[in-house]
Amino acid sequence: MVSLLLQGLALGVLTGGLYALLASGLSLYFGVMRVVMVAHPAFLFLAAYLTYTVHTTLGVDPFLALPVTVPLFFALGVAVQRLLIARLAPDNLAMMSVLLTFGIALTIEGLLGTIYTGSYKSVSMGYATKSLTIGGVHLPYDKIIAFLVAALTLAVLFAVLVKSRFGQALRATIQHREAARLVGIRTERVAGYGFGVGLATAAVGGTVLALITPFFPASHWVWIGKLMAIIVVGGLGSVTGAALAAVLLGVVEGLVLVTVDATWATTMFYVFLFLTLLARPQGFFGGRLAHRF
């Protein structure tokens, strides 16, 4: 039993790391623009499909698709923000953004279905089904890789947000848009780049997903609930909060799975979501609603 708990804990931490990567973009959009981006998982799978294409046509390791997908997604993000999100009326931005991005998600799903057909695609690498065994606990390589990629991506994201001038401008925009504008920050442009950075994380997340799970055009729907729960528990707009909540929920999920069952494990996301909304609607790790990293 102890070894099973340890195994559940180890898998939970690794999966939580992946969740953190997948949810970070969502948290960023909300922080910068109060945009509820329902299409984020759809973009994850768009990236997974592009990774699949690069991998199958060029025969290279899926991670070598990143130099293509990351800049592409950054540009796509800036375009989506400039051409679509920026045109929404500011008074009901949160609600309208849900409708708009829902439409974007359906469009992506439709496009993927048309181009790639509805059949399952997968990227199977030899190293993805082996595992490292430490003291009876098996750590699958694909999960270790996912965790490391997530950690690296989040570290880069934090460094950008904290150290760079762009990051400071972005954080200023998040904290107080008008004040930021008064000190000369071009908040519109910053918001566009912020959206681009969010989608760039989706490019990385999609590549990792392609490696660990088979996918088809409608795969994204199962993710939106989980990721939304994570960013609400973590505190909307707080990237650190989202990361901590992701690991916490990953561990809870892993432990409940090995001790109780899978249905309860999935339910835990929504149990935590409800508890958070009841006890601390601003989220457990963020400060005031959506005003901090």
Per-residue contact flags (x/-) with other proteins for residues 52 to 91, judged by CB under 8 A: ----------------------------------------
Here the tokens at position 85 are 């999100």
Contact (Cβ atoms closer than 8 angstroms) between residue 230 and residue 242: yes
- Out of 156, 225, 268, 289, name the contact with other proteins by CB under 8 A: 225
129 sits near other proteins (criterion: CB under 8 A): yes
Least distance in Å: CB of 12 to other proteins?
8
Q: Is 248 helix (H, G, I), strand (E, B) or coil?
A: helix
Our finding on whether 8 is near other proteins (CB under 8 A) is yes
- 206 or 217: whose CB is closer to other proteins? 217
Choose which of 101, 226, 276, 290 interacts with other proteins (CB under 8 A).
226
268 near other proteins, judged by CB under 8 A: no
- Contact between 161 and other proteins (CB under 8 A)? no
Residue 258 in contact with other proteins, rule: CB under 8 A: yes
* 113 contacts other proteins (rule: CB under 8 A): yes
Element (H, E) at 251: helix 239-259
Query: In 3-state terms, what secondary structure has residue 208?
Result: helix
CA atoms within 13 A on the CB side of 146: 27
Residue with Cβ nearer other proteins (130 or 288): 130
Cα gap 48→65, rounded to integer Å = 10
Structure tokens at 50: 């592009």
| Minimum CB distance to other proteins smaller for 174 or for 265 | 265
**263: its two tokens:** 């249905």
Q: Pick the stretch among 85-93, 112-120, 152-160, 199-207 that binds other proteins (CB under 8 A).
A: 112-120
Pair of tokens at residue 293: 């990293």
How many residues touch other proteins under the rule CB under 8 A: the total is 48
**Residue in 25, 77, 140, 167 binding other proteins, rule: CB under 8 A:** 140
Instruction: Mark the segment that binds other proteins (CB under 8 A) among 85-93, 137-145, 180-188, 199-207.
Output: 137-145
Length of the chain: 293
Q: Residue 153: CB partners within 8 Å, gap ≥ 6?
A: 21, 24, 201, 204
**One of 7, 53, 168, 175 touching other proteins (CB under 8 A):** 7
Nearer to other proteins, 90 or 110 (CB): 110
* Number of H-type helices and E-type strands within the chain: 11, 2
Contacts of 211 (CB under 8 A, 6+ apart): 62, 123, 125, 128, 142, 145, 146
b/e per residue 206-231 (b: at least 16 CB within 10 A) = bbbbbbbeebbbebbeebbebbbbbb
Residue 118 makes contact with other proteins by CB under 8 A: yes
| Bridge partners, residue 133, by sequence | 138
Q: How far is the CB of 19 from other proteins (least distance, A)?
A: 10
Residue 168 contacts other proteins per CB under 8 A: no
- Which positions touch other proteins (CB under 8 A)? 3-4, 7-8, 11-12, 15, 109-110, 113, 117-122, 124, 126, 128-131, 133, 138, 140-143, 212-214, 216-219, 222-223, 225-226, 253-254, 257-258, 261-263, 265-266
